[in-house]
Structure 1
Amino acid sequence: MTVDHDAFDDEFGAPFDPSEFVDEFGNAEPLPAGPGDEDEFAADQAVLPVLAIVGRPNVGKSTLVNRIIGRREAVVQDVPGVTRDRVYYEANWTGRRFTVVDTGGWEVDVDGMHARVAEQAEIAVELADAVVLVVDATVGVTNTDEAFVKVLRRTKKPVVLAANKVDNARQEIEVAALWSLGLGEPHPVSAMHGRGSGDLLDAVFDALPEAPSELIGIGRPGGPRRVALVGKPNVGKSSLLNKLAGQERVVVDAVAGTTRDPVDELIELGGRTWRFVDTAGIRRRVHQTYGADFYASLRTSAAIEKAEVAVVLIDASDRLTEQDTRIITKVAESGRALVLAYNKWDMLDDERRNYLEREIEQDLVQVTWAPRVNISAQTGRHVEKLVPAIDAALEGWETRVSTAKLNAFLNALAAEHPHPVRGGKQPRILFGTQASNRPPRFVLFASGFLEAGYRRFIERRLREEFGFAGTPVEISVRVREKRSRTKK
């Protein structure tokens, strides 16, 4: 954004030089990047061949997925049942692009959450172009492996057999026993160390259809907006995603912390396509978590950073907790647009509604700017109201104020409510500019430091004048350095 240097020179009698101003810590840093430097959010992907990685629990599916995509994305822990949903990742092998689907462990004759995990694995197979069945070569063929092979044969999908945990040449002898599964040649690999993964992928591409030639993942306007569903465990995030998707897209269970990996889904809502991302619940103290829960928390933080707007779900039937407010603060500090969704609204009576209003007034006074929606993820009550709330938050998040309008506003504000005099001096705002949006960031050039209370006052009045619903607003102050005078 360009600053009107001439107007500044005429008013203050000195050339405008940003290097003469320092922030609260004495640093003369450049202005934040303007709109031309902002990253564009990725648009929808081209249709790519899909490869499903399946197998019984704890055979190394997620480790193999991480090996294929070349980064530690899927949550891994040396216990069975870490992955529960089907999670999609982009991959590239020798210039060919494809989609990899990580799945939970498939088991036979199970019930409850384990049955739903197995069902998600079977859905992944149905939607895939090819399948990699992962078997633990150190254990050999199990009854579960044989039962799963029967399921795979019924789908008539091409299957590549991966014999995992083959860390050296001596162990390759044990792989021969896997021919008994009737799936052709077993490919020995070590997902942990990468041994044999290239040969496995070569076999995979013999089974996969050709990928389209166009590139994917390149930012371009018009792609689906990214919406992250966040909140504490067991607040209803997965239930809401399933209701919006119109299918059992993710595993839902009464056990808190069911979701581990962020799960994204393209959803038609309000006549448009959105990319909703279900995330793991943010626990009370992340630094005290370990294993899968710790890495799930890290993935949730990354999902928030990649999103454009976060819908924070709050259990309206229960009292607002410090955990709720901490999650809301985390989203605001990340600079994402924010919508508050009070779930389980159908379970409230009049007394609870009155208490909730008081809790909101008392505990959420810092985010009164966030749109609020009362919904029921289980019944679908008022979920359609999410669209106007998200639209309002995104509009505020992307709002820009021209330099002329901003400085006219600041001049009128300073004339009506000047900064208090401190120590015999009264700081003056010399100039202001909006350095960037998404979220809106303002830089004020002043003759002295502006107190935090006065900056909050400016933010409040900015919102009254220009809106900024659903978005945090950042205000930083640059103070003109005192020029040294040499005595003659």
Structure 2
Amino acid sequence: MSDDDGRPAQPVLAVVGRPNVGKSTLVNRILGRREAVVQDVPGVTRDRVAYDALWNGRRFTLLDTGGWVPDAKGMQAAISAQAETAMRTADAILLVVDGQVGSTTVDEAAARTLRRSDRPVLLAATKVDDERGMGEIPALWRLGLGEPYPVSGLHGRGSGDLLDAVLDVLPESPRDDVDLEGGPRRVALVGKPNVGKSSLLNQLTGEDRAVVDSTAGTTTDPVDSFVEIDGETWQLVDTAGLRRKVNQASGMEYYASLRTKAAIEAAEVTVLLLDASEPIAEQDLRVATQVAEAGRALVLAMNKWDLVDEDRRYAMKRELERALVRFPWVERVNISARTGRAVQKLAPAMRTALDNWDRRVPTGQLNQWLADVVAATPPPVRGGKQPKILYATQAQNRPPTFVLFTSGFLEAGYRRFLERKLRETFPLTGTPVQINVRVREKRVRGKR
């Protein structure tokens, strides 16, 4: 069993517990680097996040989860569902409790659930920075999960003993049905100020929507609203976070651009909101370029469509043809965030874009397509020689990335032609496509 990159698949340790017990701080300690977002506010980690970990020469996957609360409602229900999925898909589970507080009724309920699990379960008590913090530890035996391991995520105290115990219970390889995929798809909602992002968010999180959370995220991990759109839960990556007072306009623009870039990179699909009543700005095109360069799916939402008359619609169509000449693959939806017009069309557009972003083209189909295209339109001659395209394969998806093995260099114009033909044959609307060329080195025979 191996991952896509050829490495052996790793066993999975899920870190679970109620909110604000120090799970992410402990995760960072185990990793030896600051990966998980740590903030002195309960509930910053709202989704499952997988990290590669290494201890005593053994690699394993560390699954950090949101705070787990049994029978939770609203936002907490989504977090609990993530944690329960982590428990089902992990090879071992680490329950984290607050060593300064001792066990709570929530910890006891979690322990009851975990005692029924067929996975090995370990118990860690965090925030035990020295001997004075050991007072509550003996009472944790009553949780019925065996020996509690007192640790300090902040200082590292006891983390080595805990990790030794983790390696003792983790199998050498993961169970066959472990699956780290799943969970809500991540969507970045971006656009210029006053374009209607807040109005759209209000439409999506209206009374008839299952709003789970709308807490501002952080600079490093700008997650964050779980909303139900068209019967499916989506995770909106929040670009309105990082509300800092910056005196200079350039400073505000700088932070805004950082937020947008971070949101795009944290998301799987970006919804770029444009004001249909105004000409497309250079700033909008820069964002579209950022999305394409980050290799993310893209949906264009033309907002304020209810304010646009027939003349403006015609002008807008011409503007889009000129401005988006580099992005003919973008999914487009005309909406009104204020009235709610056609907002329900966003989810199908996002699903189409994500399906195509995930798409894999079978190698046989790809090479049959290539043979037909090259037979009809061979590559242009370069330096007196015509390069041959020997073979093609899809190296990866998210976004679809294709590698062409050739006998010579392919002109940029011919690559663009191939991408256009590729999109005509295979459903790739809404996703960027990357075409890489590998020129086969000529073998030079040496003299004997």
TM-score, length basis structure 1: 0.56
Aligned equivalent of 2:110, options 204, 212, 218: 212
Matches within 5 A, 1:218-229: 220-229=180-189
- Distance in 2 separating the partners of 1:378 and 1:75: 36
Contact 2:215 / 2:225 at 8 angstroms: preserved in 1? no
User: Residue 45 of structure 2 aligns to a residue in which SS?
Assistant: strand
Aligned equivalent of 1:435, options 395, 413, 431: 395
Cα distance change on mapping 1:424 and 1:372 into 2, 3 Å: same
Cα distance change on mapping 1:369 and 1:242 into 2, 3 Å: same
| Alignment match, 1:167 | none
Q: Could you list the per-position Cα deviations for residues 300-342 of structure 1 after superposition, in whole angstroms to 9, with x for gaps in the alignment?
A: 4233222221111111121101100010110111111111111
Matches within 5 A, 1:236-247: 236-246=196-206
- Name the aligned partner's letter for residue 476 of structure 1: N
Q: What is the deviation of 1:72?
A: 9.2
User: Residue 227 of structure 2 aligns to a residue in which SS?
Assistant: strand
Q: Could you list the per-position Cα deviations for residues 324-361 of structure 1 after superposition, in whole angstroms to 9, with x for gaps in the alignment?
A: 00101101111111111111111212222121111101
| Alignment match, 1:400 | 360
Contact 1:309 / 1:336 at 8 angstroms: preserved in 2? yes
TM-score, length basis structure 2: 0.61
User: Larger relative CO (CA 8 A, sep 6+): 1 or 2?
Assistant: 1
Cα distance change on mapping 1:318 and 1:48 into 2, 3 Å: farther
| 1:425 lines up with 2:323 in the alignment | no
- Distance in 1 separating the partners of 2:66 and 2:364: 49
Q: Could you list the per-position Cα deviations for residues 206-246 of structure 1 after superposition, in whole angstroms to 9, with x for gaps in the alignment?
A: 7784283679xx96333211111112233222322221111
- Distance in 2 separating the partners of 1:477 and 1:326: 26
| Alignment match, 2:424 | 464
- Distance in 1 separating the partners of 2:295 and 2:366: 21
Q: What is the deviation of 1:202?
A: 5.7
Q: Could you list the per-position Cα deviations for residues 48-73 of structure 1 after superposition, in whole angstroms to 9, with x for gaps in the alignment?
A: 64469xxxxxxxxxxx9998997598
- Name the aligned partner's letter for residue 110 of structure 2: P
Aligned equivalent of 2:45, options 89, 94, 97: 89
- Distance in 1 separating the partners of 2:99 and 2:47: 14
Contact 1:75 / 1:296 at 8 angstroms: preserved in 2? no
- Name the aligned partner's letter for residue 45 of structure 2: Y
**Structure 2 unmatched runs, 5+:** 29-33, 49-62, 69-73, 77-97, 115-120, 122-177, 243-247
Matches within 5 A, 1:156-171: none
Q: Which has the larger radius of gyration?
A: 1
Contact 2:222 / 2:266 at 8 angstroms: preserved in 1? no
User: Residue 225 of structure 2 aligns to a residue in which SS?
Assistant: strand
User: Residue 415 of structure 1 aligns to a residue in which SS?
Assistant: helix
Overall identity of the aligned pairs, in %: 53
- Distance in 2 separating the partners of 1:89 and 1:318: 38
- Distance in 1 separating the partners of 2:321 and 2:106: 57
RMSD: 4.4
Aligned equivalent of 1:412, options 364, 372, 375: 372
Q: Could you list the per-position Cα deviations for residues 274-323 of structure 1 after superposition, in whole angstroms to 9, with x for gaps in the alignment?
A: 222231499xxxxx977676455434423322222111111112110110
| Alignment match, 2:316 | 356
- Name the aligned partner's letter for residue 362 of structure 2: S
Contact 1:260 / 1:296 at 8 angstroms: preserved in 2? no
Aligned equivalent of 1:305, options 260, 265, 273: 265
- Distance in 2 separating the partners of 1:410 and 1:236: 43
**Structure 1 unmatched runs, 5+:** 1-32, 40-44, 53-63, 77-84, 101-125, 129-200, 253-258, 283-287
- Distance in 1 separating the partners of 2:7 and 2:431: 20
Q: Could you list the per-position Cα deviations for residues 345-379 of structure 1 after superposition, in whole angstroms to 9, with x for gaps in the alignment?
A: 11212222121111101011111111100111222
- Name the aligned partner's letter for residue 377 of structure 1: A
| Alignment match, 1:143 | none
- Distance in 1 separating the partners of 2:384 and 2:65: 66
- Name the aligned partner's letter for residue 341 of structure 2: R
- Name the aligned partner's letter for residue 463 of structure 1: R
Cα distance change on mapping 1:212 and 1:352 into 2, 3 Å: farther
Contact 1:34 / 1:435 at 8 angstroms: preserved in 2? no
| Alignment match, 1:342 | 302
Q: Could you list the per-position Cα deviations for residues 365-396 of structure 1 after superposition, in whole angstroms to 9, with x for gaps in the alignment?
A: 11111110011122211110011111111111
Matches within 5 A, 1:128-277: 209-210=106-107, 212=110, 220-246=180-206, 262-277=222-237
Contact 2:223 / 2:238 at 8 angstroms: preserved in 1? yes
Matches within 5 A, 1:55-66: none
- Distance in 1 separating the partners of 2:396 and 2:47: 33
Aligned equivalent of 1:378, options 332, 335, 338: 338
- Distance in 2 separating the partners of 1:69 and 1:305: 22
| Alignment match, 1:23 | none
Cα distance change on mapping 1:237 and 1:263 into 2, 3 Å: farther
User: Residue 430 of structure 2 aligns to a residue in which SS?
Assistant: coil
- Distance in 2 separating the partners of 1:292 and 1:205: 44
User: Residue 367 of structure 1 aligns to a residue in which SS?
Assistant: coil
- Distance in 1 separating the partners of 2:321 and 2:428: 20
- Name the aligned partner's letter for residue 439 of structure 1: P
Matches within 5 A, 1:288-299: 294=254, 297-299=257-259
Contact 2:75 / 2:226 at 8 angstroms: preserved in 1? no
